[in-house]
């Protein structure tokens, strides 16, 4: 009888421990979902401020003030990314969390890049090229919305359902469905020019079907080794690495061509400007990261920023799995 009693007690203890573990796992998933909803809500509100600032522009006289206002929204976006990097992430949503960090990184990068083009956009001599670059950067915001809605949210919902946790409704875990980009009109240079109160008609003066404008990103290398898209690339983290981007050119000479390298889930980035790329040739540019990444796995994105009149931007970007050591 004593042995039977001990067995019953042991079973009850095991059941109690299991119940506690399940409760903790459920609580962790709920807390993570709440944290994601909160940071995305905050990010979307920051996006509303960002586009409100752009819409309130009144011309070149306020270029410095406009830049400072946009920079404030970038700092907010950076703080939101840093906050999300510190979340406690349950195992079932680790992939969704990496995608969340990428979406937030895309938003910070987009704000930074738009802010960097504001002064030339408000100057008559450089407005056309700058406005076209801003329009191209708007696609980054659209991509962040797609990443969140089509990948992050479904990943979180799937994990919640698998744990038997209700989603939405009066008793379920609430989700944040909003978006950063308020309208697809912001992808249009003409629309952006109107918001900034600058003329962009001259931007299309040489945009003829017979003129092939722009670039293609052909390869990326570091330390003499070409990065591979289909396998993990190991790169020393210190000193901050320098990447060589090899690009193909169209049949027009382009000026002030921007090259960028970014890392998923990190504020570390690199940027360089080629003063000129010759027509119908191959050009190279070197981009050095602005810091040494912490050791770990990242998705590295290299980009040659589209130029005015560039219609095909599908080959402007390459991504690579990279392990920094």
Output the average pLDDT for the chain: 86
Give the pLDDT confidence of 67-96 residue by residue, as tens digits. Answer: 899 999 999 999 999 999 999 999 999 999
pLDDT at 167 over 50: yes
- Report pTM: 0.59
Residue 267 has pLDDT above 90, yes or no: no
Domain 215-324 has CATH 3.40.190.10: no
pLDDT value for 299: 94
pLDDT over 60 (residue 58): no
pLDDT of residue 208: 65
Alpha helices in the chain (DSSP H): 2-55, 63-85, 94-121, 127-147, 153-162, 189-196
Structure tokens, 123: 């100057």
Tell me: the pLDDT tens digits for 98-118? 999 999 999 999 999 999 988
Tokens matching residue 225: 């080794």
The residue to which tokens 């690199």 are assigned? 270
For the record, the structure tokens of 49 come out as: 């401020």
Q: Could you report the per-residue pLDDT of 118-163, keeping only the tens digit for each?
A: 888 888 777 888 888 898 899 889 999 999 999 999 999 999 999 9
pLDDT digits (tens, 9 = 90+) for 208-254: 666 778 899 999 999 999 999 989 999 999 999 999 999 999 888 88
pLDDT in tens, 168-183: 777 788 888 889 999 9
Residue that is written with structure tokens 């401020």 in the block: 49
pLDDT, position 65? 86
Region class of 4: left (phi > 0), else alpha (psi between -120 and 50), else beta = alpha
Domain boundaries, the chain: 20-204, 215-324
pLDDT tens-digit series, residues 185-202: 898 888 888 888 887 644
Q: What is the rounded average pLDDT of the residues 256-282?
A: 89
pLDDT at 5: 64
Per-residue pLDDT, averaged over 287-295, amounts to 93
Segment 301-319 mean pLDDT: 88
Instruction: Give the three-class secondary structure for 122.
Output: coil
* pLDDT recorded at residue 122: 85
Where residue 203 falls among pLDDT bands split at 50, 70, 90? very low
CA 39: distance to chain centroid? 15
The pLDDT score that the predictor gives to residue 82 is 95
Nearest to 266 by CA among 100, 116, 115, 82: 82
- Where residue 19 falls among pLDDT bands split at 50, 70, 90? low
- Token pair belonging to 40: 């995305």
Report the pLDDT averaged over residues 286-293: 93
Q: What's the pLDDT at 177?
A: 83
Percent of the chain with pLDDT over 90: 50
Q: Sorting pLDDT into bands at 50, 70 and 90, what band is 293? A: very high
Please, are residues 156 and 176 in contact by the beta-carbon 8 Å criterion? no
Instruction: Please state the length of the chain.
Output: 325
Q: How many helical (H) and strand (E) elements, i.e. helices and strands, does the chain have? A: 6, 9
Radius of gyration of the chain (CA): 24
* Mean pLDDT (whole number) for 40-60: 86
């Amino acid at each position: 009888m004593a042995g039977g009693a001990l067995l019953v007690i042991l079973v009850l203890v095991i059941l109690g421990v299991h119940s506690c573990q399940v409760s903790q796992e459920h609580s962790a998933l709920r807390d993570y979902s709440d944290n994601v909803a909160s940071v995305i809500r905050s990010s979307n509100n920051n996006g509303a401020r960002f586009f409100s600032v752009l819409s309130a522009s009144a011309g070149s006289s306020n270029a410095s003030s406009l830049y400072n206002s946009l920079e404030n929204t970038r700092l907010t976006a950076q703080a939101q990314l840093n906050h999300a990097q510190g979340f406690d992430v349950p195992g079932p949503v680790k992939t969704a969390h990496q995608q969340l960090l990428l979406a937030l990184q895309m938003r910070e990068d987009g704000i930074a890049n738009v802010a960097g083009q504001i002064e030339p956009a408000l100057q008559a001599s450089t407005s056309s090229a700058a406005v076209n670059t801003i329009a191209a950067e708007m696609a980054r915001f659209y991509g962040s919305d797609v990443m969140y809605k089509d990948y992050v949210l479904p990943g979180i919902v799937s994990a919640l359902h698998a744990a038997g946790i209700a989603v939405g409704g009066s008793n379920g875990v609430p989700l944040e469905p909003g978006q950063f980009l308020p309208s697809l009109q912001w992808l249009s240079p003409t629309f952006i020019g109107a918001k900034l109160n600058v003329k962009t008609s001259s931007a299309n003066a040489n945009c003829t079907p017979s003129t092939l404008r722009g670039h293609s990103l052909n390869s990326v290398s570091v330390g003499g080794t070409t990065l591979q898209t289909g396998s993990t690339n190991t790169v020393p983290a210190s000193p901050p690495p320098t990447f060589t981007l090899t690009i193909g050119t169209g049949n027009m000479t382009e000026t002030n061509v921007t090259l960028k390298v970014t890392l998923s889930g990190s504020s570390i980035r690199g940027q360089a400007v080629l003063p000129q790329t010759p027509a119908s040739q191959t050009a190279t540019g070197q981009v050095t990261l602005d810091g040494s990444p912490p050791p770990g796995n990242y998705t590295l994105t290299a980009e040659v920023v589209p130029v005015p009149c560039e219609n095909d931007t599908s080959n402007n970007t390459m991504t690579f799995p990279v392990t920094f050591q």
